[in-house]
Amino acid sequence: MPMTATMAPYTLFILDDDTPLNPREDHDCLGKMVCWHSRYSLGEKHDYDEPSDFLRNLLFSEYSSGHDRNNPVFAFLKSGKAKDARLEYNRSTREWELRENQHWSSDSDWHVSSSYAASLKDEVPDWFLDDCLSALTTGELFSLVEQMDGMVILPLYLYDHSGITMNTCSFSCPWDSGQIGWIYADKAMIEQEHGKITPEILEQVRQTLEAEVKEYDYYLTNQCYGFQLFKEDVEVDSCWGFLGEIRDVQDAVKEHLPEDCNPAIVESLQFQYEELDIDEYLERLQEETEGLDCEPG
């Protein structure tokens, strides 16, 4: 809804931005946002069919080629904490065996789905790591991703009811909302931006990712604005691409005003509840001003 204010000789308009830039495509963002939704295209584009594919890719990239068999994935499988998979040493065959429970019957039905020779020691084949990751649930994969060195990853929730809105802490309505992905920054991304990683840097990155989600939510909820400034009937300045609460947008607009324009004009802004035609508005304003000038003193 447009807002207008006049402090002669200036008239200020704050307007809805009908063609806003997408922050995930047009802004420099630290984090990457991966989402899955049947009706909406959200976040950055990606080729992961399912969330588990994305999580497996993160873990495979972290622990394949050059990492030994003591990595957190194998340690988790050896601990027996995985729901339907475990990693055991077979003394007879001298192999490490991945055992999976396929629940083919009412009783536990464990079978060896993959194995590699223990003689390889720490040279674990990448294909075996891939098999191990494929045996884990999405929740188990996410727990392992959270433990990756230098990883910051936050859930993304969407509320879909007469429009969509997103946050990182879920919504109270279970019927129209749910998790649709994650936003994350890994070690390499953080080091490129901040250099050496410290606990303080990780907390700063977490706050940055939350701010990026908030900015994207402004875009999704159409809280996108621009302004036009006229001196009498001549446009002297304009700027678009403001995202946020209207009060914050007003404060940001102040920074763009020329020195001879009273910043109090921003505080005088009033909503226009009828359709606004700027030319007609300025013409009517000019007529009113001329009418006042013509009144007898």
Q: pLDDT digit string (tens) for 80-138?
A: 999 999 999 999 999 999 999 977 766 668 899 999 998 887 788 999 999 999 999 99
- Single-letter amino acid code for the residue at 153: I
Write phi, then psi, for 153 (nearest 5 degrees).
-140, 130
Q: How far apart are CA 6 and CA 231, in angstroms?
A: 10
Q: Where do the structural domains in the chain lie, given as residue ranges?
A: 3-20+224-294, 23-49+152-220, 52-143
* The pLDDT of residue 106: 61
pTM to 2 decimals?
0.87
Tokens of residue 3, six digits: 């807002």
* The pLDDT of residue 108: 66
Per this entry, what is the length of the chain? Answer: 297
| SS3 assignment, position 270 | strand
Q: What is the mean pLDDT of residues 243-271?
A: 94
Decide: 159 and 176 in contact? Cβ < 8 Å. Answer: yes
* The pLDDT of residue 180: 96
Q: How far apart are CA 63 and CA 148, in angstroms?
A: 10
* The pLDDT of residue 292: 57
Place of tokens 């339907």: 84
Decide: 153 and 143 in contact? Cβ < 8 Å. Answer: no
